Amino acid sequence: MYDELKKILDESKNIVFFGGAGVSTESGVPDFRSENGLYHAQQNYGRSPEEMLSHTFFMRNMETFYDYYKNNLICDGVKPNKAHLALAKLEQMGKLKAVVTQNIDGLHQMAGSQVVYELHGSVLRNRCMKCNQSYELDYVMDPKNCEGHVPHCEICGGVVKPEVVLYEECLDDGCITGAVNAIAAADTLIVGGTSLVVYPAAGLIQYFRGKHLVLINKSSTPYDSKADLVIHEPIGEVLGECLGL
């Protein structure tokens, strides 16, 4: 299987990668949708992650939202793994044209990827809801900038909200357009670390009209039967081996 993937990578000139939580879990970023994540949320908060990460919950229960958010979605010290590094290397080789990710941790950029469409935003970007002043993650995490767990703008005192797409919120139009155009133009689409069940993001795969569809995920997906190559192994291991990392 690895030889087949290497052959596809060698032949391809316009690769796009579409990834999900499985790409980052290999760096130690927890998947809040996993069984452990659901159990932890119910045990500690009495609610599901989806409820606590919704726009409605954010607006009505900011203190609990930020308590959950800071303790479960922010991971200090995590670094890119072989999957992130391999994709950055493919881009440097001129083969990979874009990364489309459902992750919000910024690890693709940390690894060196330049063209990244973050469908669900990023924890690294934060903005005052009142005056639109932007803030980095360190500001939000610093207790001296917060009332309880809730960060406030140093200019106007408004609440600083992460530029993360919450449940009930729309994806960014510009990001979606860029991702769709990249996928539509690709000759090879590599999908990794995602079960392809979270919409609307998972629906983007339908725009692919290229030659090779490759799926790399530890479990099966609804698109396995449509792919040219399916590898049920950790994505960092697979891409690391193919790129000599």
- The pair of structure tokens assigned to 115 is 């063209």
DSSP the chain: -HHHHHHHHHH-SSEEEEE-HHHHHTTT---TTSHHHHHHHHHHHSS-HHHHTBHHHHHH-HHHHHHHHHHHT--TT----HHHHHHHHHHHTT-EEEEEES--S-HHHHHT---EEETTEEEEEEEETTT--EEEHHHHH-GGGEETTEEB-TTT-PBEEEEE--BTSPPPHHHHHHHHHHHHH-SEEEEES--S-STTGGGGGGG--SSEEEEE-SS--TTGGG-SEEE-S-HHHHHHHHTT-
The whole-number pLDDT of residue 76 equals 80
Per-residue pLDDT of the chain (245 residues; tens, 9 = 90+): 789 999 999 999 999 999 998 999 889 887 766 656 666 788 888 889 899 999 999 999 999 999 999 988 888 889 999 999 999 999 999 999 999 999 999 999 999 999 999 999 999 999 999 999 999 999 999 999 999 999 999 999 999 999 999 999 999 999 999 999 999 999 999 999 988 877 776 788 999 999 999 999 988 888 889 999 999 999 999 999 999 88
CA distance 71 to 74: 6
Residue 92 pairs with which residues in a beta bridge? Answer: none
Q: Which residue has the tokens 């992750």?
A: 103
Domains of the chain in sequence order:
1-29+80-120+171-245 (3.40.50.1220), 30-74 (no CATH), 122-164 (3.30.1600.10)
The whole-number pLDDT of residue 38 equals 64
β-strands 121-128, 134-136: how paired?
antiparallel
CA distance 104 to 162: 10
Neighbours of 3 (CB within 10 A): 8
The whole-number pLDDT of residue 2 equals 83
- Is 152 in the active site? no
β-strands 15-19, 96-101: how paired?
parallel
Its pTM surpasses 0.85: yes
Marked catalytic residue, from 84, 108, 120, 149: 120
Q: Identify the sign of the CA torsion 162, 19, 217, 219.
A: positive
Distances 40 to 31, 56, 204 between C-alpha atoms, Å: 11, 21, 31
The whole-number pLDDT of residue 34 equals 65
